[in-house]
Amino acid sequence: MPKEEALIKLIYLTAAVLFILGLKGLSHPRTAVRGNLLASVGMLLAIVATLTDHRIVDFRIIIAGFVVGGLFGSLLAYRAPMTAMPQVVAIFNGLGGGASALAVGAAFEEALKGEWIEEITIQFSSSAAAAALIGGVALTGSAVAFLKLQGWMTEKPILLPGRHAVNILLLIICIGLSTWHVLGYTPFLFTAPVAAADGLRGGVVADDLRQSFQQQGLELSAELHVKSLGENQWQITDATKKDTFVVRLDAGQLTIHDRSALPFWIMVGVASVLGILLVIPIGGADMPVVISLLNAYSGLAAAGHGWVLNNSVLIVAGSLVGAAGFILTALMCRAMNRSLANVMFAGVGMAVSTQAQADDIYAGRVKSASPEEVAMLMDGARRVVIAPGYGLAVSQAQYAIQDLTKLLESRGVEVEFAIHPVAGRMPGHMNVLLAEANVPYEKLKEMDEINPTFRQTDVVLVIGANDVVNPLAREADPSIPIAGMPILEVDQARSVVIIKRSLAPGFAGIANPLFAADNALMLFGDAKDMAMRLSAALKES
């Protein structure tokens, strides 16, 4: 191995180790910033090493891509509000998958012209097919997830008749086209006398084959690469003319095919349609799981891309993204007590409560209170638990909540936070917001840890949360979109105060009997405003 190549491999290995250390760091808030930094340094090393690759021919294209992509990415990251992070993640996933599909396609086209690889191996073409299939699904699936989350498309599942059969058919077509692409017989050119067959086995291919081509009025150049594709089958690449043929000896005849990328590109198109059809039957409330799964897909597509380019750091990074995405998907499914198959194929989310159902639950039972009344209730409490949800993110109430927490603690009240795994709109959403306001990490308790303590809690302050505290989740009725989802058992506390602006439903679109419970009080208003008014009332009391 030349010294330069060994050095690049060593840098790739260092980058891979930094990625793994970075991921480990990200598993805890205290080490997350360092983890992020380590992984970023790893990525920088990998990029620099890759740019020294002798196969890179045109730096202008790389710089143009870097400028356009960098501008688009920075604008998106700076301008998107925290509440739109799932959409941003969906776009990044989709573009990652799409980029892998296009890049392996470009690599295949180049290889067909006999450029930068000498032969199209099975590893090369099958990795390209796998990366493109998964990347195509990730691209359009993520686009649909983005449209649903952004509200530009209905959040409800779109259940087309016969959708499972259609999806299976499309998958079979993709596999068929991939096989065709890997074997490479397309399209048929002409047949030639058998005399050339022996020549193909030995080194004298050129003359016989060239003669056959000449008889068809086609020219072959002097520089031909021949590769056996198994018994009686060869791949011939004319490096000068930039074309690749597959030659087969069959029943005393040579059959010559032009090897083209057509089946590959048709397969990418079909996979893109499959991505749309796989995601439209999934309800908006299940989008976080879908995004996590598509994230795993984009990682796998990148790993496949790594196999195509024989690039170890891309294989490692893609596999890490793939594995992390699958683990997160499994954890989220477990948090909602659902199987992945149920999320993907059951069309959950059709049932949305009507006004009549909401009236049935709320009529005459909802009690509302003023900030002063709630402040008195909390002042007399020994233990208060704050259960935040999406509304906290919308109103950016984290700083006001932290002030309220400090105030309560200064009065001898024990305060903890109850964190539901799918509260908000992205995994870890509440943790990120509360960390931003310097709420000590030890105060954030995960659902399993805090649930047994609600019975000993005087007041639970639900701030902009709805689905994650909805007791309807305990029902076995499959028409309830969140049926079976574990919830924060806040209704078991002595008193529950819910801060939200109205009785409007949350993400799952269903009414919440908690708001009408005997021990519940509604504090209607914006979360930040109400938290500030609670602090003010506490100071006055």
Binding residues (CB under 6 A) for ligand NAP: these are 86, 285, 287-288, 389-391, 394-395, 422-427, 429, 464-468, 499-502, 504, 506-508, 526-527
Two structure tokens written together for 218: 């086609």
Q: Distance between CA atoms of 525 and 159, rounded to whole angstroms? A: 37
Q: Residue 429: phi, psi to the nearest 5? A: -55, -50
> Which of the following is catalytic: 208, 286, 467, 526?
467
3-state secondary structure of 499: strand
Q: Distance between CA atoms of 524 and 526, rounded to whole angstroms? A: 7
Is residue 431 within 8 Å of 444, Cβ to Cβ? yes
**C-beta nearest to ligand NAP: residue:** 506
Q: Which residues are paired to 246 by β-bridges? A: 235, 257
For 506-536, b/e burial (b = at least 16 CB within 10 A) is: bbbbbbbbbbbbebbbbbebbbbebbbbbbe
- Could you give the C-alpha distances from 278 to 102, 419, 442, in angstroms and in order? 21, 31, 40
Nearer to ligand NAP, 112 or 508 (CB): 508
Q: Distance between CA atoms of 15 and 21, rounded to whole angstroms? A: 10
Nearer to ligand NAP, 120 or 285 (CB): 285
Residue type, 155: E
- Residue 535: CB minimum distance to ligand NAP, A: 16
- Residue 507: CB minimum distance to ligand NAP, A: 3
- Residue 289: CB minimum distance to ligand NAP, A: 8
Q: Residue 311: phi, psi to the nearest 5? A: -115, 110
Closest CA to 483 of 334, 345, 337: 337
- Residue 512: CB minimum distance to ligand NAP, A: 8
Nearer to ligand NAP, 104 or 423 (CB): 423
Closest CA to 82 of 401, 422, 391: 391
- Residue 283: CB minimum distance to ligand NAP, A: 9
Please report how many Cα atoms fall inside a 13 Å half-sphere around the Cα of residue 29, on the Cβ side.
16
Q: Which residues are paired to 446 by β-bridges? A: 419
Nearer to ligand NAP, 416 or 467 (CB): 467
Nearer to ligand NAP, 99 or 426 (CB): 426
- Residue 213: CB minimum distance to ligand NAP, A: 59
Nearer to ligand NAP, 247 or 498 (CB): 498
Q: Known catalytic residue: 467?
A: yes
- Catalogue the active-site residues: 467
